Structure 1
């Protein structure tokens, strides 16, 4: 059965850093490049158009979409199928419980769900230090993530990692062990 990892957490919690370390541990781990309709940062995304989005919706191949920072971010059926080819294990970064639920229910695979967390204060420091020009928007997203966790029936996380306490290497090893145990 295909496998995948869902990393859920607020901005600057360390999802990118942990993903990079996982890819160093095992080449089967690959970042899932969501389709992005909009502008700004393109690294790590497959840039798309509103027409592509409409076509995905028409075909029923849109698994999850969210709108944030003035852009639309999409998890699509074809993109996941391609990401899982050859035994690869895609790592999806999500910031909404609804996204975790949509992916786990609409795309059959052995999904490992991981809550990656840090405080709002650490998000502010990390966002500023990495040069984000939209730190206030990222703090608003942190607030929305905290509210999302508090107000929604969220899935039981397979693992919770606090990146203020765990190093990226330690977090990656824990996630790798979780994935290996799930097969």
Structure 2
């Protein structure tokens, strides 16, 4: 049964990567349009900047929530790298509890702020800010779930993977 969940999870992760790739493609096309309009047609258009920023916000937070694996996260390798499994488990629990607390503590205020921002919208595209910033709520909830899971795994005895610089790659 767990292999079926793993297959579904991998399929969902791949679709999330595809979505981010399309966002990046959209950002690139918009960037090229901005250059063409400004330097070829000598017309300044503002919506391209708004669209690029919106796509960037969504790419970073959506990617962090659903695509980036734990081993891909940035760590302070001075302590994490040389640590044995036991100390790495302790560091994992401490960091997970801290992050769950901080994200959980800030979540009500974040939700309140995002829902309040329905009164504002972007200048050119008229995207409501609550829609634009709603991805942060999704990101915060995903981080809480991820770090609760990692904390439980560390408490149960599974040490987080150590970073092996000889296996560093671009993710391919």
Same fold by TM-score, threshold 0.5 exceeded?
Answer: no
Using CA pairs under 8 Å that are at least 6 residues apart, name the structure with larger relative contact order, 1 or 2. Answer: 1
TM-score (structure 2 length as normaliser): 0.26
Structure (1 or 2) with the greater helix fraction: 2
Tell me the TM-score normalized by structure 1.
Answer: 0.24
Highest CA radius of gyration, 1 or 2?
A: 2
